[in-house]
Amino acid sequence: MIAPPAPRRPAPGGGLAVLIVATVLAALAAPHARTLRGRVADALPVIAAPEPPGARPASGTRAAQAVAFALHQRGKPYRWGAEGPQAFDCSGLTWAAWRAAGVTIPRTAAGQLGGLPRIRGRLQPGDLVIYASIGPSRRHVAMVVGRGRMVEALGVGIPVRSTSIRPGWLGAVRPRAGR
């Protein structure tokens, strides 16, 4: 008769060693936490907290299609006047995203601000937020992709990215399928 194997016991202090290593790593990373958090947030897909009914577009809606297109462009370079597919400027990104969803909108940030219906309530994915800019057009536009997040082509040397919505925008507009 063969005796059953003896139960394995963890090495003495094994859990303590893991705790010490985790604590040391956390202490080393603490001075860089904000930078690391930003890099990790930009690398992850946007997952928004649940919103009230009607606030998030259904996956088949034109807004959802525009958001998916814009998010798929992350990492591509900024180039003034570019409409894709290799590079984008800010309004070229929003124009191309809504075009991919089958909706025609004005090509420039100023045209989008002046030519699309203004939003007075809560921002929804697919909405466009327009900021004042020191660039040649004097306007910058980004697309809302979820609660508190937007995707934008900000400027030279900064690839298309997802970031937090900054305060101080001039206006927000909502493209419609009938335009």
- Residue 111's pLDDT is 94
Q: Domains plus CATH for the chain?
A: 59-173 (3.90.1720.10)
Sequence-ordered list of residues with C-beta below 8 angstroms from that of 116, at least 6 positions apart, any chain: 105, 106, 128, 173, 174, 175, 176, 179
For the chain, first and last CA: distance in Å? Answer: 83
Q: Give pTM, 2 decimals.
A: 0.67
- Tell me if residue 57 falls in helix, strand or coil: coil
Distance CA 34, CA 36 (A): 5
Band (pLDDT 50/70/90 cuts) for residue 39 is very low
d(C-alpha 61, C-alpha 69), whole Å = 12
The confidence score (pLDDT) of residue 152 equals: 97
Encode pLDDT of 130-142 as tens digits.
Answer: 999 987 779 999 9
- pLDDT of 104 reads 96
Using 50, 70 and 90 to split pLDDT, how confident is the model at 23?
Answer: low
Q: Predicted confidence band at 57 (pLDDT cuts at 50, 70, 90)?
A: low
45-49, 70-74, 86-90, 144-148: least confidently modelled range? 45-49
